[in-house]
Structure 1
């Protein structure tokens, strides 16, 4: 059974849209999507993707998947470093 189906058992139908649009593991003083937008505004392609995912997983790790999210953030960080090293440019 999908996570969403399980979720529907515990959340009222009116609350599902709110949960999808503003999940508690992405909430804080500033919404994570806004932080990701700022962190990636000058980036393109895979660099933007990796940076956004690094921010996402770091920001949610204490409220969702703990070490698993930190490992995912590390994976994306390693991938981002590889991109910069491949280009031989450490300042972009």
Structure 2
């Protein structure tokens, strides 16, 4: 079976001792990394973390998650342990925060990461110019 982003799944057959602790828990697929051994990033219902699972470890849960693209957009909420991009960017100044934002969402918001990477480079250049002007 092939799953899709926002599809509900149950951790049915964990293959590692680490994943065993999640057996029987449900969650939502938030990201798919097609070539990795644990291709499906699942946001678990029991907490805010997302963990990678192999397709063989999952069973369909029979629901599709309604994604809140305002408060928790999926292209910003795919990092491990429930960390969201905003948790990192709030620790930086505006330009550097945007660098991190665009790098981390590259390839997650759309299938084409080049635009986001160009935006990140633009903010890096802007920050370099700002720092050079203060020397």
- Give the structure-1-normalised TM-score: 0.65
Q: Which residue of 1 aligns with 2:72?
A: 22
Which structure has the higher relative contact order (CA within 8 Å, separation 6+)?
Answer: 1
Give the CA deviation at 1:49. Answer: 1.3
Q: Which portions of structure 1, spanning 4 or more consecutive aligned residues, are displaced by more than 3 angstroms?
A: none
Q: Which residue of 2 aligns with 1:35?
A: 88
Q: Which runs of 5+ in 2 are unaligned?
A: 1-65
Cα separation, 2, equivalents of 1:49 and 1:63: 21
RMSD: 1.7
Cα separation, 1, equivalents of 2:69 and 2:116: 20
Cα separation, 2, equivalents of 1:62 and 1:31: 16
Q: Which has the larger radius of gyration?
A: 2
Between structures 1 and 2, the one with greater strand share? 2
How many residue pairs end up in the alignment?
66
Cα separation, 2, equivalents of 1:79 and 1:21: 28
Give the CA deviation at 1:20. Answer: 1.2
